[in-house]
Every structure is written in C-alpha cells, then in structure tokens.
Structure 1
Amino acid sequence: MSHSFDIVTESPVSVEQIHAAFGREDYWQARLADGVGTTLDLLRVDDDGAVNVSITQHLGRQVLPGVVAKVVPADLKLRYRETWRPVGDGSMRGVAEASASGGLGSSRAENWLAPSGGASQLRSAVRVDVKIPLMGRQLEKAIGSSLADSIPAVLRFTTTWIERTCMS
C-alpha cells in the first residue's frame, strides 16, 4: 500500500533563478552539507537545460528508529535522483525519486515549478511506498509527514541560497 499527498509552496525568487541554482555544484554541496554520509554522485546539465542529479545517503543503523533498525539487516543506503526540465512558458517540471537499499521502500514526487507574478510556486504530488510488513503504513505516514515539511524547507533553503549567493 502506498501513501500519496500534495504539497504547494511558494518562493519570492523566479523559476529562472531556481533553475540556475539547480545547475550549480556549489548549490548542491551547500544543500547537502548537513547530510552526514551524503554524497553528490552526479550533476549534469544537458544542452536543453535539463538538470540531472544523483545523491547517495548512507544511514547507519544507529540513526534509524529502533523498530526499523530491528527489521533492516544492515546499514541503509538511500539513492536519490532529481531531474528538472524547462517545459516552456517559464515553467519547469521535475521528478524526484528515492529508493532504499534492499527494496525496503521508495518515494516519487512529480513537481511543477511555475511563475507566480515575479515569484514562483512549487506544486508536488508525492507517493511513498514502504515494504516492511506490519509497520509499512505507519512508516509511510511518518515519511510523508517528514516530506511535507522537507519539500517546503528545501525551497526555503534554495531561496535563501539564491539571495545570499546570487543577489549580493
């Protein structure tokens, strides 16, 4: 069973500024700086403006919730891929996918970043699927709640990074 939900959040910076930030390695290094055991594996900007990012996060058993640590046979590795493409009219479409090692679960967010006046609006349709018997549904809800907080937090981080780095 999977858990789905929608998120809408806004930023005072433009879609173009966000797109430019997504294509910079210094942006991704700053975004990942607090992620212990997190590596930027790929950052590629294609000729058509598409941005492709791959990230790996190694989670030791000590940082996992106790119940999950009992079920997971080893340290957990999360693989994360994010792709953003300009789609015309000043908008971008993105897909963010995460998967846990051992087929324990995954998430997928379909994202739309569109101009909103001189600013931008991000809409995300998120699906979380955890394949741990008996506790999967509870973990899906917990992960969903975490993503409902973290997606707007990432946009706030991006906005602050742009304001500090590109507008000063």
Structure 2
Amino acid sequence: MATSTETSHGYSFPAAAVAATMVDETYLRDRLAAVGGPKGELISLAVNGAETVVKLRQGIPADKLPSFVRSLIPGDLVIERVETWRPSGEGATASVHATVPGAPATIECSIAISAAGEGCRVAGRLQVSVSLPFVGGKVERAVIEQVARLLDTEHEFTQRWLSERS
C-alpha cells in the first residue's frame, strides 16, 4: 500500500531563476543549514549534460515525530534524498527518490517548475510507501505530514533566499 498527496507552492520569481536555484550548491548548503535538521548535509552535486543529480541527507528531530513513529524508529528520522533535475520549458522537472535508512520506507516524488504569471509554480506529487504490517498506512500518513511540513519550510526559505539576492 502507498499513500499519495500533491503539493504546490507559488514563487514571485521566474521559473528559470527558481529552477537554477534548486541545483545551486550555495543555496543547497544554506537550505540544509537552515532547515535540514539534525544530520543535514549535501552529499553530492553532479552535472551530467543537462541533468543535475543532487544527493542530500535531512533529519527530523525525534521530538517532532508522533509517538508511534518514535516507537518504530529510535532517535531522529533521517531521510536520504536523491533529486534528478532536468530543464523543461522555462523551468525544470525533477524526480526524487528518498529512503529512511533502517526503516522499510520509500518516498517518490515528481516535481515541475513552470511559469505562472509574473512568477512560477512548483508542483509536486508525493508517494510514500512503508512496508509494515498493520501500521504501514498510519506511518505513511505521518511521513507525508512531516514531508509536507518540510516542503512548506523549504518553500519559505527559498522565497526568502531568492529575495535576499535580488
């Protein structure tokens, strides 16, 4: 079983600027320092032609997790994330694969950055799969909630980061 959701965030910057930011090493390091949580780090950034692959690690403090998740995963929740970005029109698309080491959980996401009026829209479709009998669906919903909060926080950080550099 898997649990899915969709997200969408608007930016007051052009799609090309937001797309370039998502693969900018300084931005990624700044974002991880600000909102990456415990153990947040940029593992690698590789450009291969028009494709950019970003590997990063993020953490969610244990005290921010529901108690039933803390009983299944001791300590902070660590998410290892691989984002593969490609140009698309004025913006970009990405496929994201994330895992939770030590837990039977995977996160798949597709992201599209597209022009919208004077700015752009970043839309994502997220799917979480947790292979645990009886409680998998409950854990999936908790992970989706935490990832949605993380994406909201990353959006706020990105908007502020771009504003400070304009």
Normalization by structure 1: what TM-score? 0.83
| Distance in 2 separating the partners of 1:153 and 1:74 | 22
CA contact (8 A) 2:19 2:91 kept: no
Corresponding residue for residue 25 of structure 2: 25
For residues 12-43 of structure 1, give each alpha carbon's deviation from its aligned partner in whole angstroms, at most 9, with x where no partner exists: 11111112222322101111014221221101
Measure the CA separation in 1 of the matches of 2:161 and 2:60. Answer: 26
**Contact residue 105 and residue 131 of structure 1 kept, 8 A:** yes
Gaps of 5+ in 2: none
SS at match of 1:7: strand
> Distance in 2 between the 1:75 and 1:36 partners?
7
Amino acid at match of 1:91: G
- Calculate percent identity across the aligned residue pairs: 23
How many residues are paired up?
Answer: 164
Equivalent in the alignment of 1:150: 150
Report the AA paired with residue 90 of structure 2: G
Q: TM-score, normalised by structure 2?
A: 0.84
Q: Distance in 1 between matches of 2:3 and 2:153?
A: 21
Q: Is the Cα–Cα contact under 8 Å of residues 22 and 51 in structure 1 kept in the other structure?
A: no
Q: How far apart, CA to CA, are the structure 2 residues paired with 1:143 and 1:82?
A: 18
Question: Secondary structure of 1:132's partner?
Answer: coil
2:4: which partner in 1?
4
Tell me what 1:36 maps to.
Answer: 38
* CA-atom RMSD in angstroms: 2.4
Task: Give the whole-Å Cα distance in 2 for the aligned partners of 1:57 and 1:9.
Answer: 20
> How far is 1:148 from its partner?
2.9
Alignment partners' CA distance in 2, 1:12 and 1:28? 19
Q: Secondary structure at the match of 2:163?
A: helix
Structure 1 residue aligned with 2:86: 85
Alignment of structure 1 residues 34-73 onto 2, 5 Å:
34=34, 35-48=37-50, 50-57=51-58, 65-72=66-73
Contact (CA 8 Å) 2:9, 2:123: kept in 1 or not?
Answer: yes
Q: Which amino acid aligns with 2:112?
A: W
The answer to whether the Cα contact below 8 Å between 1:23 and 1:45 also exists between their aligned partners in 2 is no
Unaligned runs of 5+ in 1: none
Partners of 2:145 and 2:74 in 1: CA distance: 25
State the alpha-carbon separation in 1 of the partners of residues 130 and 109 from structure 2. Answer: 15
